[in-house]
Structure 1
Amino acid sequence: MTTYAYIRVSTVEQNEVRQVETLAGRASQTFTDKASGKDTNRPALQELLATVKAGDSIVVASMDRFSRSLMDLQKTVEDLVTRGVSVEFVKEGLKFSPGSKDPVARLMLQIMGAFAEFERTLIRERQREGIAAAKASGKYLGRKPVFDAAKTAKLKEYLQRGLTPTEIAKQMAPISRASVYNKMAELGYRRQTKYAKAAVGS
């Protein structure tokens, strides 16, 4: 029986210290993502879901760190509980355990999950309005690419040397592992152990 912690911040620039402090001493291993919570396609989350087994527990600082999609939140929690894994959200004071059918906890999961999804929708709407206003005034230049030509060349070099995405992200910090995976997919690399040999057409 092992307890794992899951931490998520939306960007490389954001700091996860507050979540680390909240979860201090509660888990033997921590999985951290620096990616959006819009879906479950996050490297550390997927690794965590593949790692846990019956009898294990997952502790998260708050629901919105686990997911900002109500559908994904409910499905992921239900799947984990069905597999015999407990899930605890510290901020909300909620814990979902195998065999438990607490209607209040389930109601709170739906309410808080819906609020997180609503908040994300509002943020997206404000971003769209801000971008539209900036474009109208000629001030919007778009997001600066994570990988320019030099960084892309360096990524290819690391892949040819056989480094894993995790190792590459450490070498190219503050570029995140998720960004490395995304660029690899863009370049036609498949997720294999020896990435240098995984390029399409190589």
Structure 2
Amino acid sequence: MTVFGYARVSTTDQNLEIQEAALRAAGCEVVRSEKRSGTTTTGRTELQTILEFLRSGDVLMVTRIDRLARSIGDLQDIVRAVRAKGASLKATEQPIDTSTAAGKAFLDMLGVFAEFETNLRRERQLEGIAKAKASGVYKGRKPSIDVEQVRAMKAQGFGPAAIAKALKIGRASVYRALEGGSQT
């Protein structure tokens, strides 16, 4: 039986040391960590590596369930993958142990709350953007393509592919700029 630890933070400026230390203190023989969003499992190579290495009797340990997933769907997929290997999931800071009925129930409840928290954060962000737009403060992202430069190159006889290559932008962006719309 191997105890695998998994640590995750969302941004590169966040620190993994506390999670990694807690996992080692809890007896994890292997600790994998990554700096990726928990809202999806896409691109989380360290998590995928652990899931591939799990064998019957192994344990996947996290400090808190929100380190594993912030979506109930992703959490359930991960739990199914762990169970399919004959392994179990545990958390150091929460009473989660998928080898027990109570642990499974608590896991599902925490998963719902993690997703709820993510949705609340998204709603607050959208409300803030709407308020900023209403007051004329929020203008959106600054244009990344100089439409006048695209048009000038076209006037000089450059084709869309040459313009795209010279400006390191997509051809579709060149066409949009030439059609008269500003590109963001």
Amino acid at match of 1:104: A
Aligned residues: 140
Aligned mates of 2:61, 2:22 — CA distance in 1: 10
Amino acid at match of 1:39: T
Change (3 A) 1:140 1:130: farther
Could you tell which deviates more after superposition, 130-139 or 115-124? Answer: 130-139
1:119 aligns with 2:117: yes
- Counterpart residue number, 1:183: none
C-alpha displacement of 1:7: 0.5
Could you tell which deviates more after superposition, 103-112 or 126-135? Answer: 126-135
C-alpha displacement of 1:133: 3.2
Q: Does the aligned pair in 2 maintain the 1:60–1:88 contact within 8 Å?
A: yes
Secondary structure of residue in 1 paired with 2:107: helix
Aligned mates of 1:8, 1:82 — CA distance in 2: 23
- Counterpart residue number, 1:197: none
- Counterpart residue number, 1:24: 24
Amino acid at match of 1:63: I
- Counterpart residue number, 2:137: 138
- Counterpart residue number, 1:199: none
Aligned mates of 2:116, 2:85 — CA distance in 1: 29
Across the aligned residues of Structure 1 and Structure 2, the Cα RMSD in angstroms comes to 2.2
Aligned mates of 2:102, 2:110 — CA distance in 1: 12
Aligned mates of 1:15, 1:129 — CA distance in 2: 29
Moved >6 Å (runs of 4+) = none
Secondary structure of residue in 2 paired with 1:30: strand
- Counterpart residue number, 2:90: 88
Residue by residue, what CA displacement relative to the aligned partner does 1:121-163 show, whole Å, maximum 9, x if unpaired?
00111122223334443355549x9xxxxxxxxxxxxxxxxxx
Q: Does the aligned pair in 1 maintain the 2:65–2:91 contact within 8 Å?
A: yes
Amino acid at match of 1:85: A
Residue by residue, what CA displacement relative to the aligned partner does 1:151-196 show, whole Å, maximum 9, x if unpaired?
xxxxxxxxxxxxxxxxxxxxxxxxxxxxxxxxxxxxxxxxxxxxxx
TM-score normalised by length of structure 1? 0.62
- Counterpart residue number, 2:11: 11
Aligned mates of 1:126, 1:75 — CA distance in 2: 28
1:111-190 map, 5 Å: 111-136=109-134, 137-139=136-138, 142=141
Aligned mates of 1:79, 1:141 — CA distance in 2: 40
Percent identity for Structure 1 against Structure 2: 37
Amino acid at match of 1:33: E
- Counterpart residue number, 2:72: 70
Larger CA Rg, structure 1 vs 2 = 2
- Counterpart residue number, 1:188: none
Aligned mates of 1:14, 1:71 — CA distance in 2: 25
Structure 1: stretches of 5+ with no match in the other structure: 146-202
Aligned mates of 1:125, 1:33 — CA distance in 2: 26
- Counterpart residue number, 1:37: 38
TM-score normalised by length of structure 2? 0.68
Aligned mates of 2:106, 2:139 — CA distance in 1: 40
Change (3 A) 1:84 1:17: same
